[in-house]
Amino acid sequence: MLKKQFIFKYDPSASLKEMFDGFNGALKTGRPDIQPPNTLVSNNLEAICHIQALQGLEIIKLKKVGKEIKPIALYEQITFDFSAVRKPSTTPSLHLTTNP
């Protein structure tokens, strides 16, 4: 049976320091610092998209079919959330041209 949804959330401000600060705060206060279930937040797009990482996180499994290895989704929906990406400025950029 497939799980419902797994979310990859890209957040350029996310850091290991922030994660460990959350752990330390949880240890000191006794209040858990828990992300929503089935959510992975990363500031590194390569880490999010790496196939072995997906397999290691048990989001997909790799199945050998003949001579090929195919990814098999373990979730009905896998979401990549890039809402934290800064949108390009609407201010026009300056383009200089020279006449020969």
The number of distinct structural domains making up the chain is 1
This prediction's pTM = 0.53
Give tens-digit pLDDT for 32-73: 777 777 888 888 877 777 777 888 888 888 888 898 888 888
Domain that holds residue 49: 3-81
Give tens-digit pLDDT for 7-18: 888 888 888 777
Confidence of residue 88 (pLDDT cuts 50, 70, 90): low
Q: Which residues of 22-45 are buried (b: 16+ CB within 10 A; e: fewer)?
A: eeeeeeeeeeeeeeeeeebbbeee
Q: Which two tokens stand for residue 37?
A: 């279930």
Q: Is residue 92 assigned to a domain?
A: no
Cβ–Cβ under 8 Å, residues 35 and 41: yes
Q: Which candidate, 82, 87, 86, places its Cα nearest to that of 9?
A: 82
Cβ–Cβ under 8 Å, residues 40 and 7: yes
